[in-house]
Structure 1
Amino acid sequence: MKKVAIFGKPGSGKSTLSKGLTQATHLELHALDSILFKPDGSQIEREAYDKKHRAILHSDSWIIDGFGPISSFYERLEAADTLIYIDLPYAVSYWLVTKRLLKGLFVKPAGWPSGSSVIKGSLQSYKTLKLCPKFWNDDFMQKLQTIAKGKKLYVIRSIKELNRFVEQV
């Protein structure tokens, strides 16, 4: 486990898992939100993002947490030796986004891009969750199975499995 891609719907626990995995493996964590957004919360230029993303992919080891632009997502899946797909039920993801929003009214979530509004980000997460079934579906799983040949693939489908995964690592 040297190059790890962690991905899934908003509010699925990617950041929590990434932090636990970073502590256990000492691999450097790259949260895509911190690469995609400037300190003022605005998005960086696509060319700058692609340059940073490719530099990470070409390094010896990494953990990348997030989705990002679709083309970079598939580049990351190809470059990784370990794929961790967090596929929690939608009701759980909606609850976790809501929980993050409520907590974020008082304390900015760890890893949240500085300058970025927790309220606006949460509203965007709700919008994205509504669209997720168009992407995170059986077709994606088939594509993922193909990409995962020769790699380690973990599919986490519950909070219990997520917690157990972190504890085992």
Structure 2
Amino acid sequence: MKKIAVFGKPGSGKSTFSKILSASTGIALYQLDSIVYKSNGEFVDRETFDEKHKKILSSDNWILDGLGPISAFTERLKAADTLIYLNLPYPVSYWLVTKRLLKGLFVKPEGWPDESSVIKGTIASYKALKMSPKFWNNDFEHRLKTEYSDKSVHIIRSIKELDSFIEEAGSKC
């Protein structure tokens, strides 16, 4: 595990999971939201994003969490040696988005752009969750297993599996 792509629908715990995985493995973490968005929550221009993204992908090791533009997501999946798909049940994801909102009223959420509105981000997450079945579905999972069979693919379906994965990854380092 040297180049790790962590992805899944909003509220699946990608940022928190990635931070813990980075700490337990010593691999540098790049949270995609900090590359996609300016500190005020606006999108960076595509050229700037592509430049930063390619620089990360060309480095020796990394953990990158998030989705971003589909073409960049595909590049990341190809460049990674380890793919971690956080596929928690929808009720859990909705709860985690809501929990992030409530906590975010007092403390900036993990990986959140500095001046970005937690309320606007939460609304965007709810909208994305509503649309998620069109992308994060059984077909995607099947493509992931078949198109990337040369990689270490992990599909995590529960909080318990998240915790176990981190514990196991930390013990291997």
CA RMSD after TM alignment: 0.9
Residue in structure 1 matched with residue 28 of structure 2 by the alignment: 28
Amino acid at match of 2:63: I
The CA distance in 2 between the partners of 1:106 and 1:45, in whole Å, is 30
Letter of the 1:164 counterpart: S
Q: Which runs of 5+ in 1 are unaligned?
A: none
Q: Distance in 2 between matches of 1:33 and 1:149?
A: 27
SS, match of residue 154 in structure 2: strand
Q: What is the deviation of 1:147? A: 2.8
Counterpart AA for 2:144: L
Q: TM-score, normalised by structure 2?
A: 0.95
What corresponds to 2:61 in structure 1?
A: 61
Counterpart in the other structure of 2:90: 90
1:101-149 per-residue CA deviation (whole Å, 9 max, x = no partner) reads 0111111112211111111001100000000000011221121112321
**Further displaced range: 138-147 or 39-48:** 138-147
Of 77-86 and 32-41, deviating more is 32-41
State the SS of the aligned residue for 2:77.
helix
Aligned partners of 1:38 and 1:161: how far apart in 2?
33
Pair 1:137 & 2:137 matched = yes
Measured in 2, the distance between the counterparts of 1:144 and 1:99 equals 29
1:77–1:147 CA contact under 8 A, matched in 2: no
The answer on 1:127 being equivalent to 2:127 is: yes
Moved over 2 A (4+): none
Aligned-partner Cα distance in 2 for 1:99–1:162: 18
SS at match of 1:67: coil
Q: TM-score, normalised by structure 1?
A: 0.97
Percentage of pairs with the same residue: 63
The amino acid across from 1:57 in the alignment is L
Q: How far off its partner does 1:42 sit?
A: 0.9
Report the alpha carbon displacement of residue 51 of structure 1 after superposing the two structures with TM.
1.0
Aligned length: 169
Deviations for 1:11-41, whole angstroms, at most 9, x for unmatched residues? 1011111011111111110000000111121
Return the alpha-carbon distance in structure 2 between the equivalents of residues 69 and 111 of structure 1: 18
1:49 & 1:32 partners in 2: Cα distance?
A: 10
Distance in 2 of aligned mates of 1:62 and 1:113: 20
Q: What is the aligned partner in structure 2 of residue 115 from structure 1?
A: 115
